[in-house]
Structure 1
Amino acid sequence: MTEQSEKKPKREYRKGNPLSNAERKRRRYKKLIQEHKMVKFYISTQMKTYFIEKCNLEGVTQTEVIRKLIEFFISDGQSIVDSLKKKC
């Protein structure tokens, strides 16, 4: 019986011994990078300021706005590209 219990992995969290904040953050970040990918781009400072203000007024996060824009582009990308070309 002791051989079996030695082979089993031990539980990482036990009642009375909670994870530290640092460990919780590490685990959350590890899970996040497995399920998501980062998109990085640069815009003008003025545009970023307006974007932050607009998001605050609308009560949405910047991530939500950009995610919806990307979803819209993926589902109906041709019309967005055409409208961008017409404006330029």
Structure 2
Amino acid sequence: MSQSVNAVTSSAGVKRPYRKGNPLSDAEKQQAAVARKKLTHKELKVFVRNPIKDRLLVECEKEGITQAEYIERLLQKAFSHTDKE
């Protein structure tokens, strides 16, 4: 008799149970991430004209960073420039 007939694959076996409790939903993961960020960051809500927003998206994509990181860089440059004067 062939071994392939008697062989049991790992996918045929019973999966081991998840041991760390129930996994978080996507909304719960997002809430946890926001809560962690609030410890070291302040929220800033800004409205900008559509062409500026479109340009920001293009620049962020080009640099491979988030919009928040891009704006932080701009502000740091502006602050360091005014500190030197």
Q: Which runs of 5+ in 2 are unaligned?
A: 1-17
- Deviating beyond 4 angstroms after TM superposition, the runs of 4 or more aligned structure 1 residues are none
2:48 is paired with a residue whose SS is coil
State the identity as a percent.
23
Instruction: Tell me the TM-score normalized by structure 2.
Output: 0.57
Unaligned runs of 5+ in 1: 1-13, 83-88
Structure possessing the higher relative contact order (Cα contacts under 8 Å, 6 or more residues apart)? 2
Count how many residue pairs are aligned between Structure 1 and Structure 2. 67
1:57 aligns with 2:62: yes
1:31 equivalent among 30, 36, 48:
36
Instruction: Indicate the RMSD between aligned Cα atoms, in angstroms.
Output: 2.6
Q: Does residue 44 of the first structure (1) align with residue 62 of the second (2)?
A: no
1:17 aligns with 2:12: no
TM-score by length of structure 1 reads 0.56
- Higher normalized helix content (fraction of residues): 1
